[in-house]
Amino acid sequence: MTHPLFSDHPLPAFGAIEATQIEPALRELLDANRAEIAALLDVGADGWETLVVPIERMHHRLARAWSPVGHLNGVMNSEPLRAAYNACLPLLTAYHTELGQNERLCAAYQRVADREGADLGAEQRKVVENALRDFRLAGVSLPPERKQRFGEVMERLATAQAKFDENVLDATHAFSRHVTDEREIEGLPANALQRARDAAAAAGQDGWLLSLDAPTYQAVLSHAVSEPLRREFYEAWVTRASDRGPHAGQWDNGPLMAEILALRHEAANLVGFANFAEYSLATKMARDPAEVIEFLHELARVSRPAAQREFAELERFAGRPLASWDVGFYSERLRKERLQVSEEALRPYFPLPRVLAGLFTVVHRLYDVRIVANTAVETYHPDVRFFDVLDHDGTPRGGFFLDLYARPKKRGGAWMDECVGRLRLAGASALPIAYLVCNFSPPAGERPSLLTHYEVLTLFHEFGHGLHHLLTRVEVPSVAGINGVPWDAVELPSQFMENFAWRDEVLPLVSAHVESGEALPHDMLARLQASRTFQAGMQTARQLEFALFDFRLHAEYRPDRPPRIAETLAEVREAVAVLRPPEFNRFPHSFQHVFSGGYAAGYYSYKWAEVLSADAFGAFEEHGVFDAATARRFLSSILERGGSRDAMEAFVEFRGRKPEIGPLLRQMGLAA
Ligand SMILES: [Zn+2]
C-alpha cells in the first residue's frame, strides 16, 4: 500500500492528500480490513492476542487515515474535498454498522470475555466490555431485515448531519455587510475594524466589509453602538440555515432537523430503547433520563432567581426593556461600569505568544512535561504550527498541530481532535497527536493576535482536552486518551483547565502588555476575577435552556406527529429563560452540537462535567494550584487513564469521594 492515506508515518502527509484519491483509497482500506477480519474469524481467532489486538491495530490504521481528511474538511473546506468527504461518509458508516452487526465477531469477543476475562488487565477487560456493549447497540442480535434497516438509518443519518453542517457553513459565509459611513460602526474594537478594512480592500471595495464569523459577530453584538446594526447581525446569525432572515429558505435546515430526529428515534427503537435519549445514555455516566432531567432542574432552581435579578438589573441600567440584540451590548457596558473591566481593554495584556508560553509553563509545572515548537513538521496552512510534547528526560510523549486563527472556509468555534491515537501493541507503537483549533482574530501586520480573557479560557479549555489525549498511558487505542470516555465526563479535563486561567498564580504567567511588557496589574486582575460571577445566573440559564431543549426534544419524540422543535424550545424558555427572543429566532437551525455533532441528547454533559471539574479543582484550591502531589494524582487517576476505566471510579480515586455540586455553585457565586 503506497497511498499517502495508508502511510504509517507518524504524521499525516497533508500535501500529498488529493481529493480525487480519497474515496478509492478509503474503499481499499475498508476492504482490506474486511478481508482481514474474515480471515481472523475463519481461523477461529478468539483470544486477546489473536483477535482483539489485530482488530485494534486495523482500526487504529483506519482512524489515522481518515483523521486528516475529516480535519481538512473542517478547516480547509473546498468543493473537491467536500465531495470526497461526503462520498466517504456512507462507506464508513456502512462499515461500522456491518462490523457492529457481525454475529460471528460478537461471538468471538464473547469467547474472549468468557475464557480470558479473569486474566485480562483492567484496561483490556474494558476494551472487551465496550465492544460487547457496542455490538448490542448496533443491533447484532436483530433479525436480518431490522438489521438492514438499522444500517440504512445510520447511513442516512450521517449524510443528513453532514448536510446540516454544510448548510450552516454556507449560510454563514453568504452574509456580509458593507459599511462606508463611519458612524454605523461606532464602538467596534480596533482589531475587528482592521479585519473589516482588510476584507473590504481584498474585495476591491472602500470602507469596511463585516462578515458573520464568530469574532466579528461577537464584536458587533457587544460593542456596536448602532442598534440597527446589532439587530441586523443578530437576525443574520440566529436565522442562519433557516426559513427566516436575509437568506430565508436558501439553506433551510428545517426539513433535515425533522428527518434527523425521526431517524435517531427509529434507530433507538430498533435496538430496544424507548427513545434516543435512552439510547444516548447507554454509553454515558448519567444512569437514566430522569437523573438528567432532575439534575438540570436542580440547577435551574438554584440559578433562576439570580438570572431574573441580573436581567432586571440590566434593564434598569439600560433604562428600557431590552431586546435580544441589546443584551450583549448593555452587559458589556454594565460590566465596564461595575467592574471597571472590559474584554477589549484586556486584549493588549494577552498577546497570543505570551499566553501560549504561560500555558506551557503551567503544564510543565503541573505535569513535568515540556512543550517545544517543531518547525520541521509539514502543516496544511502557513498559520498552523506543530509542537512536540516531551517528558522530563526529553522522551517524546506526543505532539499537536495548533491552528488558532479564523479564516474563510474554516468551521467556527474551537475544538480538539485526535490526529493519531496512542498505541503500543504487539511490537507496534504510535504516539498521540492532536489537532487544537480555535478561531481567534489573526495578527494584524506586525502585531500579534491579542486575546480577550474569554479567548484565553477557550485556549486553556481546548488544551485540557489536548492533555487528556496527549498524556494518556493507555496502550490500546479504543480506550486511550479521550476514546471510550463517556461524553458527560469528557469535558472534565477541559473545564478543569479553565480554572487555572482565573488564578493569581497563573494570570501573571499568561499576561504581558503588548507594548510595555507589563503583566496584568493587580487591580485589573482583581476586577477580572470579580467578573467571573458577573451574570452567572443568566449564563447558567442559557446553558440550561440548550441542555433541556436538546434532552427533551429526544426524550419526548413521538413518531406519530411532527417533532415539536419550536414548541419544546418555547416550553423550555418559559421554564428557565429570562429573555424571550423575537419570533424570527431560529437558533435550533444552526445548533450544530445537537443536530450534527456528538451532543445529541448529551448537551447536558457540559453542566454535568462542570460539576466534576469544579469539584476536582477544589482539591487544588485546598492544597495549592501547583501542588505536586495533587497534580500527580490528577494525572494518574484521570488524565493518563483515558477511557480505560469507569469515569465515576476514576473520579472517586482522585477525590476520595463522589462528586458534589457545591463547588460549582460556589465558583459561579450561586451558592446560598
Ligand atoms: Zn470541550
Distances from the Cα of 70 to the Cα of 14, 67, 81, 115, 298, angstroms: 12, 5, 9, 38, 38
State the distance from the centre of ligand 1 to the C-alpha of 463, rounded, in angstroms: 9
State the distance from the centre of ligand 1 to the C-alpha of 354, rounded, in angstroms: 23
305-334 average pLDDT score: 97
**pLDDT(1) > 60:** no
Q: What is the pLDDT of residue 445?
A: 86
Q: Are 419 and 68 in contact (CB under 8 A)?
A: yes
Q: Are strands 433-440 and 415-420 parallel, antiparallel or unpaired?
A: antiparallel
Q: What angle do CA 451, 343, 212 make, to 5 degrees?
A: 70
Residues with CB under 5 A from ligand 1 (ion): 491, 494
List pLDDT tens digits, range 47-85.
999 999 999 999 999 999 999 999 999 999 999 999 999
609-630 average pLDDT score: 97
Please choose, from the candidates 491, 454, 497, the residue with its C-alpha nearest in 3D space to the C-alpha of residue 602. 491
Count CB atoms within 10 A of the CB of residue 453: 23
Distances from the Cα of 314 to the Cα of 134, 328, 338, 461, 539, angstroms: 49, 10, 11, 29, 14
List pLDDT tens digits, range 30-46.
999 999 999 999 999 99
DSSP string, 483-520: TT--TTTTTHHHHHHHGGGGSTTTHHHH---TTT-PPP
Q: Are 591 and 239 in contact (CB under 8 A)?
A: no
State the distance from the centre of ligand 1 to the C-alpha of 491, rounded, in angstroms: 5
List pLDDT tens digits, range 249-285.
999 999 999 999 999 999 999 999 999 999 999 999 9
Distance separating alpha carbons of residues 153 and 167, to the nearest angstrom: 21
State the distance from the centre of ligand 1 to the C-alpha of 227, rounded, in angstroms: 33
Q: What is the pLDDT of residue 454?
A: 93
Q: Are 640 and 380 in contact (CB under 8 A)?
A: no
State the distance from the centre of ligand 1 to the C-alpha of 486, rounded, in angstroms: 13
Decide: helix, strand or coil at residue 428. strand
DSSP string, 133-171: HHHHHTTTTS-HHHHHHHHHHHHHHHHHHHHHHHHHHHH
Share above pLDDT 70 across residues of the chain, in percent, rounded to a whole number: 100
List pLDDT tens digits, range 401-442.
999 999 989 988 899 999 999 999 988 999 999 999 999 999
Q: At what angle do helices 144-174 and 79-100 cross, to 10 degrees?
A: 160
Look up residue 601 and give its amino acid.
Answer: A
**CA 68 and chain centroid, separation:** 17
341-346 average pLDDT score: 84
State the distance from the centre of ligand 1 to the C-alpha of 533, rounded, in angstroms: 20
Q: Give the cell for residue 22.
A: 480519497
State the distance from the centre of ligand 1 to the C-alpha of 461, rounded, in angstroms: 6
List pLDDT tens digits, range 362-410.
999 999 999 999 999 999 999 999 999 999 999 999 999 999 999 989 9
Q: What is the pLDDT of residue 340?
A: 87
Cβ neighbourhood burial of 365 (10 Å; 0-12, 13-18, 19+): middle
**pLDDT(2) > 70:** no
Q: Give the cell for residue 376.
A: 520541521
Cell 517528558, located at residue: 391
State the distance from the centre of ligand 1 to the C-alpha of 469, rounded, in angstroms: 12
List pLDDT tens digits, range 131-143.
999 999 999 999 9
446-470 average pLDDT score: 96
State the distance from the centre of ligand 1 to the C-alpha of 156, rounded, in angstroms: 27
Distance separating alpha carbons of residues 494 and 335, to the nearest angstrom: 26
Residue 462 bears catalytic tag:
yes
The active-site residue out of 462, 491, 498, 640 is 462
281-306 average pLDDT score: 94
List pLDDT tens digits, range 470-509.
999 999 999 999 999 999 999 999 999 999 999 999 999 9
